[in-house]
Structure 1
Amino acid sequence: MLLQQQKIQLSAYSDLYDLIVPKGNLLRKINELIDFSFIHDELVDKYCATNGRNAESPIRMFKYLLLKTIYSISDVDVVERSRYDMSFKYFLEMAPEDAVINSSSLTKFRKLRLKDTDLLNLLINKTVA
């Protein structure tokens, strides 16, 4: 089941982002400039609305892949870094105390949801546009 990604969850620790992630941080700028909601619209038909548990947000999954591309790191490394790098958590719109995904989820997302490599290119091009 696919739900629209919500903004950063209210947390007693969310104010840490203003202290730790500078206003000029690349990931903060990307979050402020790009509306990633188009990803949900592009991938909605790739999810079953009636079966299975709630899926991880496709927007967040795409953002993990974007982080991988920006920083040239592996699935395992991007997930590990998002565990402690506050700019990554901010970019992923997670509360500071939120747990991260299992790195195998990125592989499944690529194989099951982004089977069509043109779809991945479309999403990247829309992000850049």
Structure 2
Amino acid sequence: MLSKKEDARHQIEFVSIDQLVPQDHLLRKIEKVIDFSFIYDLVKDKYSEGHGRPSIDPVVLIKILFIQYLFGIPSMRRTIAEIKTNVAYRWFLGYGLTEEIPHFSTFSQNYIRRFKGTDIFEKIFTKILEEAIKHGLVNAEEVFIDSTHVKA
């Protein structure tokens, strides 16, 4: 019997973003074992206390960069575009389904104004890597190196 799927794109449903991310998703595993709150202590002197415009959460900025690196997304512009449509990425960042994602230039402006010329990123990613290794998320038995020549 020939069946046609009914269009449900405009159907209103009560669902949390947490229900939409599979329990075995890599980002769930990472979120479960890595406490990203250490980032606040590392960056607090780069932010003004009590005045100025509210900033984008520095943990969100680092997690955006983490998503870009982990999933091999080639640019920040593309990373933000992917986050807008990927429920698991939104969940990992703590964003809701309709919440506005920071503009791609926000990351570069924060880097230029706050982190350029520092070793903060190195400290953050070293800590994340240590935690990932400690909890068995990194397998260093096989290492792949891209040795493709790329013209500048």
Q: What is the 5 A alignment of 1:60-79?
A: 60-73=60-73, 74-79=75-80
Partner in structure 1 of residue 81 of structure 2: 80
Unaligned runs of at least 5 residues, structure 2: 1-12, 131-152
Q: Which stretch of structure 1 is more off in the superposition, 38-47 or 117-126? A: 117-126
Partner in structure 2 of residue 17 of structure 1: 18
Partner Cα separation in structure 2 for residue 72 and residue 65 of structure 1: 10
Deviation at 1:96, TM superposition (A): 1.6
SS of the equivalent of 2:77 reads helix
Partner in structure 2 of residue 35 of structure 1: 35
Scaled by the length of structure 1, what TM-score is found? 0.83
Deviation at 1:51, TM superposition (A): 3.2
Residues 76-118 of structure 1: CA distance to partner in whole angstroms, max 9, x if unpaired?
A: 1111111110010011011122110110001012222222352
Unaligned runs of at least 5 residues, structure 1: 1-11
Higher relative contact order (CA closer than 8 Å, sequence separation 6+)? 1
Partner in structure 1 of residue 133 of structure 2: none
Partner in structure 1 of residue 93 of structure 2: 92
SS of the equivalent of 2:108 reads helix
Q: What is the identity, as a one-letter code, of the residue corresponding to 1:105?
A: T
Alpha-carbon contact 1:13-1:96 (below 8 Å) kept: no
Partner Cα separation in structure 2 for residue 34 and residue 109 of structure 1: 23
Q: CA RMSD in A?
A: 1.7
Scaled by the length of structure 2, what TM-score is found? 0.71
SS of the equivalent of 1:83 reads helix
Deviation at 1:16, TM superposition (A): 3.4
Q: What is the identity, as a one-letter code, of the residue corresponding to 1:123?
A: I
Aligned residues: 117
Larger radius of gyration: 2
Alpha-carbon contact 2:40-2:58 (below 8 Å) kept: yes
